[in-house]
Amino acid sequence: MKHIFFSLFALLFLAACSSNENRTINEDVAAFVESNPQISVFGSIDAKTILDKAEYKSIDKFGESIDKEMKTIESILNFDTPIYFAMDGTLDAQGNPGIIYAFAEVKNRASLTSNIQKRGFDIDKGTDFNFHESGDVAFGITDKRAVFVIKEGLTDGKKLVEEAIASLKEDTPDNKVTEILNQKADIVLGVDVEASFLGTLSKLKMEEDKKTELTEMLAGSYTQMTVSFEKGAIDLKSTNYFSDGLKKWMMFGNNSSKMLAQLGSGSPRAGIIVDFDMKKLQKFMDKYAPNALSEIGKQGGGQVQMGLAFAGEEGLAGLWTGKFGAVMMGNTDADGSFKPEFNYQVGLGKGILTLAKGMLDGMKGNVAKMSLKGNTLTAYSSELYMPGKGGLKLPRGCENFGKKPVSGFVSFDGLDLSSMDLEEGKEFVEMLDYMIFEMDAEGAHFYLKSKNNKDNILKQVVDQAMKKLEVNIKNS
């Protein structure tokens, strides 16, 4: 009987050991992220799918050579799996990430090494991995993985690569890291909220018990972002996976729909609504960063200090309630000129309210109507778009404007671009139909729609870029 139990135990042990050898690359990267608590950002880029959506093979004069290069890459790397990345949350003096890592799945270690050597790179061949280091970049190649390390002023590349390779072999966590890395999209991004603030927390002048409390509150909180390139659109979605303690401090208001009703009538070309709870923000700062405002004043200089002087006891909430809404109206005249008109509403804090009342008469001459009710300032630059004329008629695709605490849109259809400084990108903006953005405590959504619904937006961008290149060549 003892032999049976021993055999079963040995079988389970061997199965557990061998499972790490046969894992997918996203499981390995999840193990790496979990083993390195300083990693703040991680994710993947599905390079092959992105290139296919751009229809790179059809690019005139370049497609054939790109395709040839792609076939070489696909013979040595598994391009059917995404390229994964991770970034150290520790920032340098310039605000750049401390270390950037990238991971790819290797098909043939010897062929990959040989191909890199042919391109002029020196490779030190080792038993566990082949290695190269030059400048700010180092990489190692094992039988299964290629690991890249990028760090400004890199001096310990081999050590970092060796440690990264070892971390890939750790146990895969059963948490949000693995769940995020399992997402299918052209680009996937995960943010470890706690790791993102580790460097900042160490520099804050905060009592140690408050630092501990804040660190515990941030633990286990993540934000997931996915980017998909579609026919005629870019679709970006983010989802927050926050701890209960962090959720309690979410500073979004709930009056965006009320603001929308006060933004007049007509067909707006663009709009934005912001509804934050500034009192909650100030309460958070008072608890965890009581010296933040004075530090902001010191860094900003005299003008910032003067502005903060109006804040009063309510702090930032004394300057602004957190509520702001505006829409841009206007029509194109027969001569092609476009005169924008604006309707807007802003909530003024108590500290600045007296000053605003004194300036109100001087401001009224620039608009058709302006009123201050309580602490809410509302203005309309033209009588054509004042309330009481049927309300706002939002453009197609932008109907959700104002339904989230933060939302915005731009309708490019018929929008005059001549007054905008778009010399280097006007042709790309002219491709667009509309853009929408919305955000609340659960996450955010950004959607960019082009006028062409048939082709993937990446192909449209590539085609437009090639047309621009041909024009530049002809004019050079």
What type of residue sits at position 198? Answer: L
> Which phi-psi region, left, alpha or beta, contains residue 322 (left: φ > 0; alpha: ψ -120 to 50)?
left
What type of residue sits at position 402? Answer: G
Answer yes or no: is pLDDT of 129 > 80.
yes
Answer yes or no: is pLDDT of 403 > 90.
yes
Tokens coding 263:
């933004």
| Cβ-based neighbour number of residue 435 at 10 Å | 18
pLDDT at 20: 55
Answer yes or no: is pLDDT of 472 > 90.
no
CA dihedral (276, 277, 283, 287) positive or negative = negative
> Which phi-psi region, left, alpha or beta, contains residue 308 (left: φ > 0; alpha: ψ -120 to 50)?
alpha
pLDDT in tens, 349-364: 988 888 888 888 778 8
Answer yes or no: is pLDDT of 199 > 90.
no
Between CA 282 and CA 290 the distance in angstroms is 9
Answer yes or no: is pLDDT of 67 > 70.
yes
Q: Are 173 and 27 in contact (CB under 8 A)?
A: no
pLDDT at 331: 76
| Mean pLDDT, range 219-239, rounded to an integer | 97
Residue environment code for 339-375, b if the CB has 16+ CB neighbours within 10 A, otherwise e: eebbbbbbbbbbbbbeeeeeeeeeeeeebeebeeeeb
Lowest mean pLDDT among 3-7, 59-63, 340-344, 394-398: 3-7
Instruction: Name residue, tokens 């006028």.
Output: 451
Answer yes or no: is pLDDT of 15 > 50.
no
Angstrom CA distances, 186 to 99, 183, 230, stand at: 23, 10, 10
Cβ neighbors of 374 (< 8 A, separation 6 or more) are none
Backbone angles phi, psi at 59, to 5 degrees: -70, 120
Answer yes or no: is pLDDT of 121 > 80.
yes
CA dihedral (365, 366, 371, 375) positive or negative = negative
3-state secondary structure of 201: helix
Selected residue with higher pLDDT from 207 and 77: 77
To the nearest whole percent, how much of the chain has pLDDT over 70?
90
| Mean pLDDT, range 145-154, rounded to an integer | 94
pLDDT at 96: 65
pLDDT in tens, 375-384: 999 999 999 9
Answer yes or no: is pLDDT of 165 > 70.
yes
Selected residue with higher pLDDT from 15 and 307: 307
DSSP letter string, 153-164:
T---HHHHHHHH
| Mean pLDDT, range 249-255, rounded to an integer | 90
Lowest mean pLDDT among 125-129, 287-291, 299-303: 299-303
Cβ neighbors of 44 (< 8 A, separation 6 or more) are 26, 29, 82, 83, 84, 85, 181, 187, 188
CA-angle at 167, arms to 153 and 134, nearest 5°: 25
| Mean pLDDT, range 70-87, rounded to an integer | 92
pLDDT at 6: 35
Cβ neighbors of 18 (< 8 A, separation 6 or more) are none
Strands 432-440 and 443-450: antiparallel
Selected residue with higher pLDDT from 10 and 95: 95
To the nearest whole percent, how much of the chain has pLDDT over 90?
61
Between CA 454 and CA 433 the distance in angstroms is 14
Angstrom CA distances, 198 to 69, 87, 164, 240, 249, stand at: 41, 13, 20, 19, 19
| Mean pLDDT, range 61-86, rounded to an integer | 91
Q: 377 forms bridges with which residues in the sheet?
A: 346, 372
Between CA 177 and CA 224 the distance in angstroms is 9
| Mean pLDDT, range 109-123, rounded to an integer | 93
Q: Of 141, 137, 114, 138, which Cα lies nearest the Cα of 127?
A: 141
Between CA 176 and CA 23 the distance in angstroms is 18
Across the chain, what does the average pLDDT equal?
87
